[in-house]
Structure 1
Amino acid sequence: MTRWQSNAVLTFVCLIWGSAFVGQAWGMSSLGPLWFTGIRFLMGAATITPLVWLELRRVARREGLEPTRQRLRHGLGLGVLVWLGACLQQAGIVHTSVTHAGFLTTLYVPLVPLLVWMLFRQRPHWSVWPTMVASLIGLWLLTGEVNLTQLNPGDALVLASVIPWALHVVMVGHWAGHSQRPLLLAWLQFVVCGLLSMATGAVLEPVSWSGVQTAMGALLYTGVLSVGVGYTLQVVVQRHTQATDAAIILTSETLFAALAGAIFMGDRLGLAAWAGCGLILLGVVAVQLVPLLERQRPNAPPPTADQAPEVPPAHP
């Protein structure tokens, strides 16, 4: 899979995640956020379990079981990061508006290239910075021009979730790129996040079987499609693209969420919001096209070692 193809698949993932916000909103009417998160992530794990089993058998025949045991901690680490991000975000949403939470969560985008630079000494292409600024301005316009001078304790919790979300994007690209077991990584993070969410939900939230039944449609949609398909595709395709590209492309999730809200929930977008959508799309397209066009110029200098694309090795 080429870098361009993987970025296209990642954009499709954002379409899935953005439309899933509608299902999450409907599901919240009868089920608490922690229980909803826990059940849908375990549904996602169940969805890909047969594929994980086939992957493990194939790898075990070629390499033995030891490399698989060595990678287990990567899946566990990703699951903890997803759980931390989701719990902090959900706790913050209780005390702040969805508009504030949506914008503040996306502030993980500028953290990703900085973390890649700090942790792996890989300097991003120069085009990342202007496209990132354009995407953040677009998100600010799309989410209602959030006033960053009026933040409350709930906003602080959402801001804290930015760190695990950014680390998750970075480590998915790094660990999945050095593993021939991407499905196992995805499955492990689903199970860890699901179990931890349900454990905290059992302490903090009431739950009833009737509430689960009422939310079953939303759970199936967000569990099978958003978690089972979306997160699995993220782990698989991020082996073939850079984490900095992925971070900018993932901002389009907010765009697709706004469009899904307009189509299915009657939300209406103003002129500023549509301008924000345009800036997000511009950032998503530019971060992919600019490096490609630059390499095609006559006498274009080759990329330096720290700017070279993150190409995964053939074997772990």
Structure 2
Amino acid sequence: MNSKKMQSNLMLLLTAFIWGVAFVAQSVGMDYVGPFTFNSVRNFIGAFVLLLFIPLLDKVNRQSAATVNASNSDAASATDIASTSSSSVSDKKTLIIGGIVCGILLAIASSFQQVGIVYTTVGKAGFITAMYIVIVPILGLFVGKKVRLIAWISVGLSVIGLYLLCMTESLSLGKGDILVLICAFCFSFHIMVVDYFSPKVDGVRMSCIQFFTCGIICGIPAMLTESPNLHAILTAWQPLLYAGVLSCAIGYTLQIVAQKNTDPVIASLLMSLESAFSLLAGWIILHQYLSPKELFGCLLMFAAIMLSQIPEKKSVAA
């Protein structure tokens, strides 16, 4: 494995840890503010933090470009400059579209998740959210992609695991579990869009645009239904800062940047570890315990996630 891939994989592992612990911050934040207020503020925090880092990253990139150019003695022609200018305009348009689309999907997914966390435990929310790993290959059916047998086996295992984890004695899913399950479907679309746009644009800038978009969208229902006030927001400063700075600014940006240089299968596998981290964080920090039946459900779901990431064997030409 080359150093770039190793670095990207470590970034994704760190992302999974940050996101797993973020479920605790999201749960604690609900003691002070409403879910839409929490999401709006955390995304604006993430966006402003990235705005501070963009000039520094630009400086580093310019220095790297200058070093490369110094080793090349040929001057750029007028045609090359015109081509670069045209490409820059096109890239800017793609960047804005990508950031807005990602922001819309992030707003929908995170809103379902945040409201769902009010009615379920951190560990359950983490494992149900991680279902996007199993859902993404199935969604590929709608764009003409073939679904392997192993993916269907993973779906079957995850459904059984979901039943054991979430089904109540009255044979119904809890309200919070249903909302987080919808969130998992929404995050599946978000991941597919990130995969499409991240190789084409600057990852940090796209992440910044998506946070501003998400913050604005979540701010509308927050103002209409929750009447947010500054005192409540300041009281929730700890979970908001963790969710805003670490989960948003650092976590989602690490995801976008790292996905450029690693295998999508490995990326999905590493990010899915957030479910295990969320279970541990809920147990250690919030003392939320699961029954043996629920833990077995988690085990089945985790097995389904791992199984779905087994790469397809390549046929060897005779």
Which residue pairs with 2:188 in the alignment? Answer: 166
Q: Is the 8 A contact 1:131 1:284 kept in 2?
A: yes
Query: How far apart, CA to CA, are the structure 2 residues paired with 1:108 and 1:210?
Result: 36
Mapping of 1:207-286 within 5 angstroms? 207-241=228-262, 246-247=267-268, 249-279=270-300, 282-283=303-304
RMSD: 3.6
Q: Provide closer, same or farther for how the CA distance between residues 268 and 88 of structure 1 changes in structure 2, counting only shifts above 3 A.
A: closer
| Residue 41 of structure 1: aligned partner | 43
1:53, 1:28 → 2: CA distance? 34
Q: How many residues align?
A: 291
Is contact 2:26-2:114 (8 Å) kept? no
- Output the amino acid matched with 2:188: A
- For 1:84 and 1:129, the matched residues in 2 are separated by 27
Aligned to 1:115: 139
Contact 2:115 2:179 in 1 (8 A): yes
Contact 1:245-1:287 within 8 A present in 2 as well: no
The 1:138–1:34 alpha-carbon spacing in structure 2 relative to 1, beyond 3 Å, is: same
The percent identity for this pair of structures is 29
Contact 1:128 1:244 in 2 (8 A): no
Q: Which residue of 1 aligns with 2:101?
A: 77
Conserved 8 A contact 1:174-1:239: no
Contact 1:128/1:245 (<8 A) preserved: no
Q: Mark the CA change 1:160 to 1:139 in structure 2 (over 3 Å): closer, same or farther.
A: closer
Residue 52 of structure 1, CA deviation? 3.0
User: Which whole-Å CA distance do the structure 2 matches of 1:148 and 1:30 have between them?
Assistant: 32
User: Structure 1: where are the runs of 5+ without partners?
Assistant: 303-316
Distance change in 2, residues 1:54/1:114 (3 Å): farther
Partner of 2:32: 30
Give runs of aligned pairs for residues 114-153 of structure 1, distance below 5 A: 114-119=138-143, 121-123=144-146, 127-131=150-154, 133-134=156-157, 137-138=160-161, 140-141=163-164, 143-145=165-167, 149-151=171-173
Bigger drift between 16-25 and 126-135 goes to 126-135
Q: Structure 2: which amino acid aligns with 1:27?
A: G
Query: Counterpart in 2 of 1:204?
Result: 225
Please report how far the alpha carbon of residue 202 of structure 1 lies from its aligned counterpart in structure 2 after TM superposition.
0.7
Counterpart of 1:301?
Answer: 316
* 1:39-77 deviation digits (Å, cap 9, x = unpaired): 111111122223334556859x99443022332101100
Q: Equivalents in 2 of 1:273, 1:159: separation in Å?
A: 16
Structure 2: runs of 5+ lacking an equivalent: 66-80
* Distance in 2 separating the partners of 1:265 and 1:153: 21
* Counterparts of 2:169 and 2:132, CA distance in 1: 18
TM-score normalised by length of structure 2 = 0.74
- Following the alignment from structure 2 to structure 1, what is the Cα–Cα distance between the partners of residues 26 and 115? 15
Q: 1:11 aligns with which of 8, 13, 20?
A: 13
* Range moving further from structure 2, 246-255 or 73-82: 246-255
- Alpha carbons of 1:284 and 1:241: their partners in 2 closer, same or farther (altered >3 Å)? farther
Distance in structure 1 (CA, Å) of the matches to 2:159 and 2:7: 24
1:86 to 95, 110, 116: 110
| In structure 1, distance between residues paired with 2:218 and 2:97 | 19
Give TM-score, length-normalised by structure 1.
0.75
Residue 12 of structure 1 and its aligned partner are, at CA, apart by: 2.8
Q: Over alpha carbons, which structure has the higher Rg? A: 2
Question: Closer, same or farther in 2 for the Cα pair 1:259/1:161, shift >3 Å?
Answer: closer
Aligned-pair CA distance for 1:237: 1.9
Residues in 1 aligned to 2:225 and 2:35: alpha-carbon distance in whole angstroms: 10
Name the structure 1 match of 2:213.
192
Contact 2:23–2:126 (CA under 8 A) maintained in structure 1: no
1:175 lines up with 2:197 in the alignment: yes
* CA contact 1:249–1:284 (8 Å) conserved in 2: no
The 3-state SS of whatever aligns with 1:239 is coil
Partner Cα distance (1:53, 1:248) in 2: 32
